[in-house]
Amino acid sequence: MSRRDERRRKVEGSFEEFRDAVAAALGNASRELRQLVDERARDMFEIMLRGEGVDRAQDDPVLAKAVKKNKALEQQLVQALIDRVAAFREWSEGGPDRLAALVNAVAPGPASWPPEAWLGTPGTADGSEGVPELWRIGTGVVRGAPEPRSFPVAVPLLDHSHLHVSSTPDSRQAADALVENLLLRLVSHFQPGLVHVHVWDVNQLTGSLPGLYPLTRAGLLTVHDPARPQELLDELSDHIRRVHTGVLVEGHQSVRSVGGRRTEPWRVAVLFGNRQVLKEEHQQQLQRVARNGLACGVQLIIVDIPVTVNSPIETVTIHPDQTATCTMTGKHVVVTLDPPFPRTAVPRACAAIADKREERRMRLSTFQDLLPERFWQESSASGVVAPVGYHEGEPVHVALGDTSPHALIGGPSGSGKTNFLYAMLGSLAARYHPDELELYLLDFKEGVSFAQFAPGRKDPTWLPHARLVGVNVNTDREFGVALLKFLADEMRRRADAAKRHEVTKLEQLREEDPDGRWPRIVAVIDEFQYLFGERDGVTAQATQLLEDVARRGRSQGIHLVLSSQDVSGIEGFWGKSAIFEQFTVRIALPKARRVLAEPQNDAAVELPRWHAVVNHESGVRPGNEVARIPDTTSKGTFDALQAELHRRRPPDLAEPILFDGSKVPSLQSLPDFQSLRTGEANPTVLLGQVIDVAGSAAKVRFPRTPGRNIAVIGSLPEDAAGVLGGAALSLARQREPGEAQFSLACLAEDAWPYAEKLYKQLQNAGHSAELFGLEGIRALLDGTAARLTASVTGETGAPLPPHYLVVYAVDAAHTLLENKDPTTRTSGVDSLRAVLKHGPENRTHLLGWWRGVQRLKNSLPPGQYDDIGAWLAFDVQGKELISFGPEQVMSWSPRPHRCLFFDRFEHSRPQVVIPFDTGEES
Ligand SMILES: Nc1ncnc2c1ncn2[C@@H]1O[C@H](COP(=O)(O)OP(=O)(O)OP(=O)(O)O)[C@@H](O)[C@H]1O
């Protein structure tokens, strides 16, 4: 072999080796590649199975072929199917049934049942038993469940969530049907009138939701102009504002939480768009309505309008294939929407609802309709609210709370103010327990319209909430002041308690002090203009107190209701913006002036008889609500309610205090008299009843100090005798028989019956009493003066026993007393002055009646009146009294059976006092 061949063979051998090596390497690589490809295919398949679902894998022909060819993939598919069954087991076993049961429970009746069960029968629910939480829209199946079982799909609406529906041009009809079905469910569930529907459709004036049209005639469906979405949005905004000021008293976050029967109808506004955004301003307003609406019962259903809202909203998206998905169930649930309800049944059902609504509207509501089904269920923690009348069959409410603290009622005589007050008070009293609400009722009218609330001879029942009833007080304006003063004191007491608990408002105080009794107080003053009737101290005091209570009462749960036939002339009221600004609740009866914000708001002018404008916005026009007020004063109305409430009253509840200006207070039944006891070193003298809320006595104490004598000034013996009798009998009650001497002297003929009666009363009580006429007065005074002188100069050892000289018409003896004793050169007047001067220190007190101021002065040392420490003046002009009392006496103008009382030791200002009826002789 040539060397050349040898080389060639080697080269070929090397190539062979190289080829073999390359072939081996390539074989390895391709095996690895095949392996990798297989692995990758399995991974991809797994991802597909898990991501897109096993159904997809089976349905896809390419994948199906691959699975058929590849054992590994087949195994993977089997495993995925097993896994799916395991994963769905819990759901498949009970999920759909549980969901169906849940929907059934929270969406009873028309909220979820098939239409055959209810469509055509108007609803009866009034919200008091709760509101369905969900409303059915169709059925759903879980996409990819091994055995697809359907379940009901429902969405939250009213109070909970708005609804957004989006569709495509192909599925818009389904969207219309969805909305119509939902609206039918809503209007059929509740009493006709509780759901009002508004429709605005950008595309058409009529045509959307034709089946619901019969509702329009009853005002339950309003179709709005496509060109003016503003109109609908404004209406909804107004409504929200009104609900906020009227129905949502402080603390209630939504109409829903006000409790009981739904008082505010829901407004469901459906807006149909065309998938284009609204104008910016409308968009913003819609967002505002969405934000604040739910709490006020405003529900939005927005169809095909792109909008984002910052409040709970559910979305239903309807696809071109007519299936839907919704946020309630998530994207894996395919929703088949309920078919439209039967075409002929829908308008018929709406007509039935409209008829029922009309029937309700035409119904003449009575006082009975104002009352709740069950009495005393409401809490007044955040305020009180009660229906007072009706507007088109629906109740109209008055609310008093922190945001609407006080009410002003106006209307000329006969317009129905008293009737209105009865409606309001009855409706409140039926809802709130006497522990939740107290009433203070004062009537300045000549009649006695509030007397009904207190026990009377004919009707012994009384209103358990009434703590004070004032009638016939038209001349006693002081009683108005007393009431306001009481309220101001109570307000301070509550503020102090709140401070102790480190809170500021009644509602918080009640939370902090759950065992405390903190009712809301409603104080009603009928014909309150009398209170400000004159330019005097009473008006000044009343104005000041009213301002105090009006401004600060709101947070302490004290509410004023002032009513008047003509509020326009009350300077003290209108002149003080700090006062009337607080009276945000205005109630105008027909032809009332100034109660509403005139001249813009003249709603009261046209108001028909027995109606009222109820306005919680200080009388501005948008706040007007017109209500027909039922008759509350004829037999079987308020009286029947009172009898029932009286029967239910807590057993330990005291009767209301009755202040009847026409009645003479009885000494013997006065608690201050009954509590007097013997053994008192410094006895208390009761002179009459002062004008205060507690009905307390006017008192003077008799310590052994100078000046403790009492003068009654006036021309009528009857008045004076009431005071002197009360004084003597109250002293007698504090002395054991025989312990004190009562010397009575009657120097005027017309006073004899009174003096004699008192004499017998004292004797009958076992006291040592004597009665003199003109002939005995000189000796009585001289003798008493002599004893006193002896005691003062220390001639007698033992202290003198208590001695009370009660002298009727002291001045009648003046001439007689002026005569001087020929031996001692002293006169009877001197003796009288000595008794007045030295008596009190020696437990000898003179209680005298003088028939005029000058006559009293004549009995005293010239210019020195200190010995008369306390006086009561009847028919004497204030200016005459100035030498005896402070400046305020100047404003006193006398009136029958009332006197001005001043005790220079105790008082800074005089008080008005009513003399007692001192009872019979026995
Ligand atoms: N809503 C009503 N329905 C039927 N009758 C009514 C109604 N309101 C008032 N009345 C009747 O009208 C009369 C006058 O009513 P009311 O006494 O309430 O008026 P007022 O404004 O208080 O008048 P005044 O100031 O003169 O007392 C009463 O006989 C009352 O029964």
The tens digit of pLDDT for each residue in 122-171 reads: 998 888 788 999 999 999 988 777 777 889 999 999 989 999 999 999 99
- Within a domain: residue 90? no
Q: Separation of 341 CA from ligand 1 center, angstroms?
A: 51
Q: Give pLDDT, residue 250.
A: 46
Task: Residue 351: name the closest of 109, 195, 120, 114 by CA.
Answer: 120
**Amino acid residing at 65:** K
Q: With a 6 A CB cut-off, is 413 part of the ligand 1 pocket?
A: yes
Do 493 and 581 belong together in one domain? yes
- Within a domain: residue 113? no
Domain boundary among 83, 110, 134: 83
Q: Give pLDDT, residue 448.
A: 64
Residue 643, φ and ψ in degrees, nearest 5: -60, -40
Helix (H, G, I), strand (E, B) or coil at 350: helix
Do 826 and 714 belong together in one domain? yes
Q: With a 6 A CB cut-off, is 412 part of the ligand 1 pocket?
A: no
Q: Separation of 413 CA from ligand 1 center, angstroms?
A: 8
Do 702 and 740 belong together in one domain? yes
Could you give the strand order of the β-sheet that contains 394-401, starting from the edge strand earlier in sequence? 394-401, 383-391, 624-628, 611-615, 585-588, 407-410, 558-564, 520-526, 437-443, 466-471, 657-660
- Within a domain: residue 900? yes
Residue 154, φ and ψ in degrees, nearest 5: -140, 155
Q: Separation of 421 CA from ligand 1 center, angstroms?
A: 10
- Within a domain: residue 166? yes
The ligand 1 atom nearest the CA atom of 589:
21
Q: With a 6 A CB cut-off, is 566 part of the ligand 1 pocket?
A: no
Q: Give pLDDT, residue 239.
A: 87
Provide DSSP, 485-522.
Answer: HHHHHHHHHHHHHHHHTT--SHHHHHHH-TTS---EEE
Per-residue tokens: 657 = 């205090």
Question: Considering Cα of 634, then 638, then 641, then 646, what sign does the dihedral take?
Answer: negative
Q: Give pLDDT, residue 863.
A: 83
The conformation of residue 319, written as its DSSP 8-state character, comes to: -
Q: Separation of 609 CA from ligand 1 center, angstroms?
A: 10
Number of separate domains in the chain: 4
Q: With a 6 A CB cut-off, is 417 part of the ligand 1 pocket?
A: yes
Task: Residue 211: name the closest of 164, 177, 173 by CA.
Answer: 177
- Within a domain: residue 919? no
Question: Considering Cα of 618, then 619, then 620, then 622, what sign does the dihedral take?
Answer: positive
**Residue 798 CB coordination number (10 Å):** 6
Do 459 and 326 belong together in one domain? no
Q: Give pLDDT, residue 574.
A: 64
Provide DSSP, 84-99.
Answer: HHHHHHHHHHHHHHHH
The ligand 1 atom nearest the CA atom of 610:
1
- Within a domain: residue 105? no
Do 617 and 681 belong together in one domain? no
Do 413 and 536 belong together in one domain? yes
Residue to probe by mutation, ligand 1, list 419, 530, 591, 628, most atoms within 8 Å of CB: 419
Q: With a 6 A CB cut-off, is 419 part of the ligand 1 pocket?
A: yes
The ligand 1 atom nearest the CA atom of 423:
1
Binding site membership for ATP: which residues?
411-418
Separation of alpha carbons 281 and 261, rounded Å = 36
- Atom 16 of ligand 1, residue of closest alpha carbon: 416
Binding site membership: which residues?
411-418
Q: Separation of 448 CA from ligand 1 center, angstroms?
A: 14
Q: Calculate ∠ Cα 134-135-140, nearest 5°.
A: 95
Q: Separation of 300 CA from ligand 1 center, angstroms?
A: 43
Could you give the strand order of the β-sheet that contains 710-713, starting from the edge strand earlier in sequence? 697-701, 684-690, 911-914, 899-903, 870-873, 710-713, 844-850, 803-808, 741-746, 768-772
The ligand 1 atom nearest the CA atom of 633:
31
Q: Calculate ∠ Cα 406-412-417, nearest 5°.
A: 50
Q: Calculate ∠ Cα 626-628-631, nearest 5°.
A: 150
Cis preceding-peptide flag for 395 (omega within 30 of 0):
no
Q: With a 6 A CB cut-off, is 632 part of the ligand 1 pocket?
A: no
The ligand 1 atom nearest the CA atom of 447:
27
Calculate the alpha carbon distances from 283 to 334, 556, 866 in Å: 31, 41, 82
User: Quick one: which H or E segment has residue 276?
Assistant: none
Q: Separation of 575 CA from ligand 1 center, angstroms?
A: 29
**Residue 301 CB coordination number (10 Å):** 23
The conformation of residue 144, written as its DSSP 8-state character, comes to: T
Q: With a 6 A CB cut-off, is 411 part of the ligand 1 pocket?
A: yes
The conformation of residue 595, written as its DSSP 8-state character, comes to: S
The ligand 1 atom nearest the CA atom of 420:
18
- Within a domain: residue 510? yes
Do 310 and 443 belong together in one domain? no
pTM over 0.80: no
Do 437 and 350 belong together in one domain? no
- Within a domain: residue 351? yes
Do 727 and 867 belong together in one domain? yes
Do 210 and 321 belong together in one domain? yes
Host domain of residue 160: 118-361
- Atom 25 of ligand 1, residue of closest alpha carbon: 413
- Return the CATH number at 750: 3.40.50.300
Do 158 and 306 belong together in one domain? yes
- Does the interface predicted TM-score (ipTM) exceed 0.90? yes
Q: Separation of 612 CA from ligand 1 center, angstroms?
A: 12
Low-confidence residues in the chain, pLDDT < 70: 1, 205-207, 245-261, 263, 447-448, 569-575, 796-797, 922
Q: Separation of 530 CA from ligand 1 center, angstroms?
A: 20
Do 425 and 562 belong together in one domain? yes
Residue 321 CA to chain centroid, in angstroms?
Answer: 54
